[in-house]
Amino acid sequence: MTRYMSPLTRTIDLASGTIPDAAEVQTRRLSDLEGLFADREAENALRHENPVIYRVYLAAHIPTEEGQLGYSTTVIYPGTVGGEYFMTKGHYHAVANRAEVYTCLKGRGALLLQTPEGETSVQHMTPGAAAYVPPFWGHRTVNTGAEPFAFMAVYPADAGYDYATIAEYGFAALIVERDGKPELVPNPHYQREG
Ligand code: M6P
Ligand code: ZN
C-alpha cells in the first residue's frame, strides 16, 4: 500500500523573500565561505566583522528520496569582498544529473553556472526571472544590487550537495563590481578539474 505524504503549504514573505514559518534557517557568514572569495587580503580584513552573507529558508524537511522536491528561499545581502559581490558557496549536486529551478523574488542578482570542464554561463535575475539549472552544471548566486537579493529554489530532494569540488577548484569566473556595474572576470585561482 502506498503511504501518502500530507500536502503542505508555506508562506513566502514576498517583501523580504524570507519564509517566516520555515522548518530551518541556515545562516552563512563570511567564515563559512572561507577561501571562496578571490581576494584573500580583503577577506582577511573582514574576518573580524564576519558579516552574514546570506540566509537559506528551508520550507520543510522533505524526505531526501527520489521523486520528492525540496524547496527553499535564499536571501543574499548586498556587499562586496575585494570588489567581488556577496554570493552563495555554490555547489554541484552530489547526484550530478539532478536539475533545479531558481525564481527571483526580489532585488537584482546573477546565477553563475559552470560545467566541470569550465564552460561558464551567467543568467541575470530580476523579479520574475525563472532560471533553469540543467543537470551537471555547478551553480552559485550573486547579489549584484544594492538591496537584498532573494530567490526561490526547487530541486529534487535527493540531489544532495557537492561543495568539495568548488572548494578545491573554485569557479572559472568571478562577478565583480566595476564602475558600479557587474562584470564577469576570470578567477585567478581557478584550476581546471581533473
Ligand atoms: C538555493 C538552493 C539550496 C542551496 C542554497 C544556497 O536555495 O540551491 O539548495 O543550499 O541556494 O546555496 P549553497 O548551498 O551553494 O550555499
Ligand atoms: Zn543546487
Does 90 map to a domain?
yes
Q: How many domains does the chain have?
A: 1
Does 161 map to a domain?
yes
* Ligand 1 pocket check for 36: Cβ under 6 Å: no
Does 5 map to a domain?
no
Ligand 1: residue whose CA is nearest its atom 11: 74
Average pLDDT, the chain: 97
CATH number, domain containing residue 137? 2.60.120.10
Does 48 map to a domain?
yes
| Alpha carbon of 112 to ligand 1 centroid (Å) | 13
Q: What is the pLDDT of residue 194?
A: 67
What Rg value do the Cα atoms of the chain yield, rounded? 17
Nine cell digits for residue 120: 561558464
Does 4 map to a domain?
no
| Alpha carbon of 93 to ligand 1 centroid (Å) | 10
Ligand 1: residue whose CA is nearest its atom 8: 153
Q: What is the pLDDT of residue 100?
A: 99
pLDDT per residue over 24-48, tens digit each?
999 999 999 999 999 999 999 999 9
pLDDT per residue over 67-99, tens digit each?
999 999 999 999 999 999 999 999 999 999 999
Does residue 9 have a pLDDT over 90? yes
DSSP character at residue 95: S
CB-side exposure of 182: number of CA atoms within 13 Å? 25
Helix (H) or strand (E) holding 169: helix 164-169
Q: What is the pLDDT of residue 1?
A: 83
Atom of ligand 1 nearest to the CA of 100: 8
Does 91 map to a domain?
yes
Question: What's the average model confidence in pLDDT over 12-20?
Answer: 98
Residue 94, φ and ψ in degrees, nearest 5: -60, -40
Sequence-distant (≥ 6) Cβ neighbours of residue 151 within 8 angstroms? 17, 73, 74, 102, 103, 104, 105, 109, 125, 141
Does residue 13 have a pLDDT over 80? yes
| Alpha carbon of 89 to ligand 2 centroid (Å) | 11
Q: What is the pLDDT of residue 192?
A: 76
| Alpha carbon of 189 to ligand 2 centroid (Å) | 23
Does residue 2 have a pLDDT over 90? no
Nine cell digits for residue 49: 566583522
**Residue 59: domain span:** 24-186
Does residue 10 have a pLDDT over 80? yes
Does 19 map to a domain?
no
Percent of the chain's residues with pLDDT above 70? 99
Does 104 map to a domain?
yes
pLDDT per residue over 116-134, tens digit each?
999 999 999 999 999 999 9
pLDDT per residue over 54-68, tens digit each?
999 999 999 999 999
pLDDT per residue over 131-187, tens digit each?
999 999 999 999 999 999 999 999 999 999 999 999 999 999 999 999 999 999 999
